[in-house]
């Protein structure tokens, strides 16, 4: 193992990096963040921040020399940076896994190689591909294959005639056209795999999005035990086939007929796994730190049903005027665990914090989360 007191590194200074730093520090590690922003929220808690771009050779050399092991908190980290770091220190996840997760088409192909189902789709890389699309994938959604998140870079397509213009609008980049599916629920699984191949999963989260952004996670998901087990086994199969080291999130669609489809994966801790901080014996960030430090994985058992609500920057405005959200009232709700990330500027849609509400049952947690939502004027999780 890497002994406490040694340095661990993280590429990226956002809230995921911040929560990783806090977990690693709890285990006694010192942490270094590489991020170009001087006010990064992970840099604010880390022992050290290297202020530089993710591809800066001198910065990567400095990080690799200081740290025994390095991870990342976002998927669009350049593969070459991971490869450079790997020359001098342990890097997880490895560049190949990150490259697969960066591309929706590769991701779908990979899930299929694992024997898992995905939405019917077509890859679109050049004009000629537009003519090869058959109408059976319509109505559908055209997504840029790379760099999309929170529903950005996606256009609904009702008829074949709309396709060329939509592709034009997305900048003629590599895209995937996916059939629009009758989704009953969206669920996700956080899977953690150590360097020694040991693997654990967390309970399945049920996710509700608003405006393409995660709004609430309800855990355990309200699906039957067999389906939950299949989702956890599917995520494990993907992590194993990738020879993944680290924390990986796999998002699924559950269709109205009960089919389970892989939607996408993120090679890092995930917003839908924030509930693990307050509701599980070990959190997803604890696991990330344990994996980096080559400690055994922790128990993933959930201690209480939970509802996680995201706090977006919109809450800091009332009719366009800045305001302080009533966190005193939120903190007074029994079972509410408030997390604020310390970002200096609130912007609509920006992830500023979250609240995990614990209850004696999912229904109880939902009722308490309802109190929090009412205080913040958030749409209720259902």
Assess 188 for contact with ligand ADP (CB under 6 A). no
Q: How far apart are CA 217 and CA 221, in angstroms?
A: 8
Closest distance of CB 320 from ligand ADP, Å: 26
**Closer to ligand ADP by Cβ: residue 181 or 280:** 181
Site for ligand ADP in 108-127 (CB under 6 A): 119
| Under 8 Å between Cβ of 88 and 7 | no
Q: Which of 35, 186, 286, 314 binds ligand ADP (CB under 6 A)?
A: 186
| Under 8 Å between Cβ of 14 and 74 | yes
Q: How far apart are CA 111 and CA 235, in angstroms?
A: 9
**Closer to ligand ADP by Cβ: residue 48 or 210:** 210
Site size with ligand ADP, rule: CB under 6 A: 18
Question: Which among 27-35, 93-101, 145-153, 342-350 is the span making contact with ligand ADP, rule CB under 6 A?
Answer: 145-153
Residue 36 tokens read as: 């170009």
Assess 180 for contact with ligand ADP (CB under 6 A). yes
Question: Which among 4-12, 20-28, 148-156, 290-298 is the span making contact with ligand ADP, rule CB under 6 A?
Answer: 148-156
| Inter-CA distances, 269 with 14, 89, 98, 367, Å | 12, 21, 13, 27
Task: Name the E strands within the chain.
Answer: 7-11, 30-34, 48-50, 69-72, 90-91, 121-124, 140-144, 154-157, 175-179, 183-193, 199-201, 205-210, 213-219, 246-255, 260-266, 306-312, 317-318, 321-322, 336-340, 351-358
| Under 8 Å between Cβ of 346 and 352 | yes
Q: How far apart are CA 29 and CA 280, in angstroms?
A: 22
Assess 103 for contact with ligand ADP (CB under 6 A). no
Closest distance of CB 359 from ligand ADP, Å: 25
Closest distance of CB 46 from ligand ADP, Å: 27
Q: Which of 81, 263, 271, 356 binds ligand ADP (CB under 6 A)?
A: 263
| Under 8 Å between Cβ of 21 and 35 | no
Closest CA to 287 of 187, 201, 214: 201
Q: Which of 141, 200, 311, 378 binds ligand ADP (CB under 6 A)?
A: 141
| Under 8 Å between Cβ of 33 and 52 | no
Q: How far apart are CA 124 and CA 206, in angstroms?
A: 31
| Under 8 Å between Cβ of 75 and 101 | yes
**Closer to ligand ADP by Cβ: residue 69 or 141:** 141
Q: Which of 17, 93, 148, 335 binds ligand ADP (CB under 6 A)?
A: 148
Site for ligand ADP in 264-283 (CB under 6 A): 264
Assess 151 for contact with ligand ADP (CB under 6 A). yes
- x/- string (CB under 6 A) for ligand ADP, residues 189-228? --------------------x--x----------------
> Which positions lie near ligand ADP, rule CB under 6 A?
119, 141, 143, 148-151, 178-181, 183, 186, 209, 212, 251, 263-264
């Amino acid at each position: 193992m890497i002994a406490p007191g040694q340095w661990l590194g993280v590429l990226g200074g956002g809230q995921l990096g911040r929560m990783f730093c806090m977990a690693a520090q709890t285990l006694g590690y010192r942490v270094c963040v590489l991020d170009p922003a001087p006010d990064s929220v992970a840099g604010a808690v880390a022992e050290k921040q290297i202020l530089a771009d993710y591809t800066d050779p001198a910065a990567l050399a400095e990080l690799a020399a200081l740290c025994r092991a390095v991870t990342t908190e976002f998927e669009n980290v350049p593969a070459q940076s991971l490869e450079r770091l790997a020359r001098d220190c342990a890097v997880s996840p490895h560049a190949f896994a990150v490259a697969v997760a960066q591309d929706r088409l590769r991701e779908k192909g990979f899930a299929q190689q694992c024997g898992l189902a995905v939405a019917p789709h077509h890859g679109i890389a050049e004009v000629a591909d537009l003519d090869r699309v058959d109408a059976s994938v319509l109505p559908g959604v055209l997504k840029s294959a790379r760099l999309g998140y929170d529903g950005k870079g996606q256009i609904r397509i009702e008829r074949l005639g709309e396709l060329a213009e939509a592709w034009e609008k997305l900048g003629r980049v590599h895209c995937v056209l996916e059939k629009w599916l009758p989704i009953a629920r969206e669920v996700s699984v956080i899977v953690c795999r150590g360097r020694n191949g040991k693997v654990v999963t967390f309970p399945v989260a049920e996710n509700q999005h608003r405006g393409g952004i995660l709004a609430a996670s309800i855990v355990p998901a309200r699906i039957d035990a067999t389906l939950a087990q299949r989702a956890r086994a599917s995520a494990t199969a993907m992590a194993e086939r990738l020879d993944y080291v680290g924390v990986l999130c796999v998002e699924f669609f559950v269709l109205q007929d009960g089919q389970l489809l892989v939607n996408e994966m993120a090679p890092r801790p995930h917003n839908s796994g924030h509930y693990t901080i307050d509701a599980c014996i070990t959190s997803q960030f604890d696991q990330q730190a344990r994996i980096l430090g080559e400690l055994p994985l922790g128990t993933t058992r959930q201690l209480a049903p939970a509802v996680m609500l995201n706090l977006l920057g919109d809450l800091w405005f009332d009719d366009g005027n800045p305001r302080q959200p009533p966190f005193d009232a939120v903190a007074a709700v029994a079972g509410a665990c408030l997390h604020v990330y310390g970002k200096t500027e609130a912007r609509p849609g920006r992830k500023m914090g979250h609240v995990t509400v614990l209850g004696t049952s999912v229904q109880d947690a939902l009722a308490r989360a309802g109190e929090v939502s009412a205080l913040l004027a958030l749409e209720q999780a259902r």
